[in-house]
Amino acid sequence: MIQEALSCLVDEINSFFKSKLKITEDKVVLSGLLNADGSIAMREENKIVVTLVNVEKETVGQNGVNPHTSPPLNINLYVLFSAYFAAANYHEALRFLSFVMGYLQQKNVFNRTNTPQLDGGIEKLVFEMENLTTEKMNNVWAALGAKYMPSVIYKMRMLTIDGSIVREFRPEISGIQN
């Protein structure tokens, strides 16, 4: 469910950029910032990188749970939007980061009505910008092992994980011709 939710978010923002800015390339990618060996994970510059930085159990609404069954797990995801742009394009980094913030301000709830491609196992996703002090933001970047880039963190509320519906993800194959 995490991959489906974040991929849908990336697709939505890319569609927004393409229609609003009349561009053809995807400017938003789902990726870590660094590989396990410490090398840079991104091959291309001038992108907004969407990275999962934390998963938190949602405790609101957990009262009255039947102790004899395992209830679904409700989680919140903390998503980092980083502007990975060449130094000469710093102004573009700020511009695209502002576009992401503007988009999530106007559409902070994703549901099947306003986002038909949302996975059937996801009821809705709600986005809230996180207010982090400079010290906390420094801690995030230190934990990631990366140098600071213009960025913003959003809390994506309530993704439900139900073990009975977990399935393997197989990307669609396209472009095969006989």
Reported as a single tens digit per residue, the pLDDT across 117-169 is 999 889 899 999 999 999 999 999 999 999 999 999 999 997 777 655 444 44
What is each CA distance from 46 to 43, 95, 129, 178, in whole angstroms?
Answer: 10, 11, 23, 37
The answer to whether residue 174 is domain-embedded is: no
Supply the CATH number for residue 99's domain.
3.30.2000
The answer to whether residue 169 is domain-embedded is: no
Q: According to the model, what pLDDT value does residue 121 have?
A: 87
The answer to whether residue 135 is domain-embedded is: yes
The answer to whether residue 22 is domain-embedded is: yes
Res 87 pLDDT > 80: yes
The answer to whether residue 177 is domain-embedded is: no
Six token digits for residue 85: 């742009």
Evaluate whether 35 touches 144 at the Cβ level (below 8 Å): no
Indicate the average pLDDT of the chain. Answer: 88
The answer to whether residue 156 is domain-embedded is: yes
Number of domains in the chain: 1
> Using CA atoms, how far apart are residues 162 and 90, in angstroms rounded to an integer?
42
pTM of the model: 0.84
> Using CA atoms, how far apart are residues 51 and 49, in angstroms rounded to an integer?
6
Q: According to the model, what pLDDT value does residue 162 have?
A: 66
Residue range(s) defining the domain that contains residue 131: 2-62+71-163
> Using CA atoms, how far apart are residues 44 and 21, in angstroms rounded to an integer?
20
The answer to whether residue 25 is domain-embedded is: yes
> Using CA atoms, how far apart are residues 81 and 28, in angstroms rounded to an integer?
9
The answer to whether residue 11 is domain-embedded is: yes
